[in-house]
Structure 1
């Protein structure tokens, strides 16, 4: 069990809640992105970065905001849910961001590859880029502040819910030095 400043049962509850919410979100994303669409025609595959974003911007401001916002928001909760399921407080913010964005990017790429076999769905490299950006923005906006708040809350209470003066296991006993007999 690692000591992080908040109670052991609290860490377990945070990880459990994060894991349940993560699984629920991934199931929702799978349902939303991998179900077949009944459409009369399909746009061609977009493998040129930013070409789809430029096309969206040509459609007008409101349509561009809606389309780009959908791609940013689809996997953005992973930016918070992955660190929440991991449950660590004492971690490098940059390393956490890199790990989370990498996992989000790989998941977005997996979805794009799975969509190649789904009727009515096409691969769009801009979706992968926007999904990864959404994960990064959500992580950068929420996770460092939440970790800092949890660390401050844990420092007030002490490790595993004990007071700030005394650790949860009690004081370490000391043994006085005894001289060697002649």
Structure 2
């Protein structure tokens, strides 16, 4: 049976295009928020000790800690959904997809932190890397499996049948006698 590539194929392409556009828009927004120079009277030292900033935030109180930590978790969280959509793979392994997405989110966060070293008023914080990556992982785990299932059902309902392509006939090998 041949594959039917009508509405289902176009639906997947539309999702991928929308994902790429939203990903680009989100990355531009993140760059504007994190890489613009700030006019501040003083700048704290860079935080290169893991979890020191989180402990300091928790020492300020629950509300302050939730606000500061929440901002860092939410900054790159949309990447957890937008990267897989932009990739356009509906049949990806859930664990493999999570690992690829979290790795890409961590690399983007590292890139932002490295570029911040040259931006006036911005300070490098290793905890931002951890929290940004956590946000990517949580968003991916919460949304992507259900979203992929929904898109698969939608494309199959539109007529795109998912069958393995035929490999043709199995070759036959003539019998050869055993040499004396």
Both proteins in one fold, TM over 0.5: yes
Counterparts of residues 100-115 of structure 1 (less than 5 Å): 100-115=101-116
Counterpart position of 2:45: 44
Judged with a 3 Å threshold, the aligned counterparts in structure 2 of structure 1 residues 106 and 4 are, in CA distance, closer, same or farther, namely: farther
Structure 2: where are the runs of 5+ without partners? 164-180
SS of residue paired to 1:70: helix
Is 1:158 aligned to 2:177, yes or no? Answer: no
Counterpart position of 2:15: 14
Contact 2:77 2:135 in 1 (8 A): yes
CA–CA separation in structure 2 for the residues paired with 1:5 and 1:55: 56
Contact 2:84 2:97 in 1 (8 A): yes
Is 1:120 aligned to 2:130, yes or no? Answer: no
C-alpha displacement of 1:58: 0.4
CA–CA separation in structure 2 for the residues paired with 1:6 and 1:64: 48
Counterpart position of 1:74: 75
Q: Deviations over 1:15-55 (max 9, x none)?
A: 11000000000000000000001111111111111000000
Counterparts of residues 86-105 of structure 1 (less than 5 Å): 86-105=87-106
Question: Could you tell me the TM-score, scaled by structure 2's length?
Answer: 0.84
Paired residues, what number?
Answer: 161
Counterpart position of 2:57: 56
Counterpart position of 1:177: none
RMSD: 2.1
Contact 1:6 1:151 in 2 (8 A): no
Question: Could you tell me the TM-score, scaled by structure 1's length?
Answer: 0.83
CA–CA separation in structure 2 for the residues paired with 1:4 and 1:99: 28
Q: Deviations over 1:83-140 (max 9, x none)?
A: 0111111010000000000000000000000000001111100000000000000000
Counterpart position of 2:168: none
C-alpha displacement of 1:150: 1.8
Structure 1: where are the runs of 5+ without partners? 168-182
Contact 1:34 1:115 in 2 (8 A): yes
C-alpha displacement of 1:80: 0.3
Judged with a 3 Å threshold, the aligned counterparts in structure 2 of structure 1 residues 70 and 85 are, in CA distance, closer, same or farther, namely: same
